[in-house]
Amino acid sequence: MNIRYPNGRKYSKPQKETTAKKGIEYGKRGMTLEEDLNSTNDYYLRQGIAVIHKKPTPVQIVQVDYPKRSSAVIKEAYFRQPSTTDYNGVYKGYYIDFEAKETKNKTSFPLGNFHEHQINHIRGVLAQAGLAFIIIRFSHTDEIFLLEGRFLLEFWNRMLDGGRKSISKEEIEKVGYCLPIGYQPRIDYLKIIDRILQS
């Protein structure tokens, strides 16, 4: 039987979970943050709400093997340049730019997950009146938060001034926005962007 979800994706029967001793990983029980966001962005695009895509990572391919004519295997490749953030696009005439991160930490989000060039990129987007933010998933509790770029910069500067090297979950709950997981879209972060635009 050929079953499809409302978004057109084909249904596949979930595999039965077994114990870790039999070599099955439990990390794939749910969708990853990236998969959820890609699904959300596909929904936004289909509904004519926004055009937001994951940025491709620029890669320089050095060596390719062709074991047979119908297939090629990349054996060696390098990143051409440091990546900036994960996603960008446009919504209601506003430029959108954000990074998505997951952490296994239960009580804080390590700032070491960011590179300086990413912080500089977010700073540059904000300087041009763009909307820059991060979406964080605490994988242990499956909680997702949106944190505006201006707050990320404050926490980053605090670290540079000798302060803590992470953002506590309490701080994220205080200045960020909780994003519930839904059906369509999976993570409706534009609902929060509407609130930010109105404030």
Q: According to the model, what pLDDT value does residue 98 have?
A: 97
Q: How far is CA 27 from CA 2, 138, 140, in A?
A: 27, 13, 11
Q: What is the pLDDT of residues 30-41, one digit of tens each?
A: 469 999 999 999
Measured in whole angstroms, the distance separating CA 99 from the mean position of its chain's CA atoms is 5
Residue 46 CA to residue 7 CA, distance in Å, equals 9
Residue 49 CA to residue 189 CA, distance in Å, equals 12
Was 35 annotated as part of a binding site?
A: no
Task: Name 41's Cβ contacts closer than 8 Å, sequence gap at least 6.
Answer: 50, 52, 53, 54, 87, 89
pLDDT at 16 over 60: no
Q: According to the model, what pLDDT value does residue 65 have?
A: 78
Q: How far is CA 10 from CA 6, 7, 53, 99, 175, in A?
A: 9, 9, 21, 28, 39
pTM (predicted TM-score): 0.75
Identify whether the C-beta of residue 101 lies closer than 8 Å to the C-beta of residue 134. yes
Was 97 annotated as part of a binding site?
A: no
Nearest to 145, CA basis, from 117, 116, 108: 108
Residue 98 CA to residue 86 CA, distance in Å, equals 6
> Strand locations in the chain, DSSP E?
51-54, 59-68, 71-79, 87-91, 94-103, 108-110, 131-138, 143-148, 166-168, 177-178
**Which residue would you say has higher pLDDT here, 119 or 80?**
119
Identify whether the C-beta of residue 31 lies closer than 8 Å to the C-beta of residue 40. no
pLDDT at 26 over 50: no
pLDDT at 82 over 90: no
Architecture of domain 30-198: 3-Layer(aba) Sandwich (3.40)
State the DSSP string of 2-39.
--B-TTSPBP-PPPPP--GGGT--STTSS--HHHHHHH
Q: According to the model, what pLDDT value does residue 64 have?
A: 73
pLDDT at 78 over 70: no
How does residue 73 score in pLDDT terms, banded at 50, 70 and 90? Answer: confident
| Token pair listed for 18 | 């077994």
8-state DSSP, 107: S
Was 118 annotated as part of a binding site?
A: yes
Was 194 annotated as part of a binding site?
A: no
Nearest to 150, CA basis, from 165, 164, 133, 135: 133
Q: According to the model, what pLDDT value does residue 19 have?
A: 39
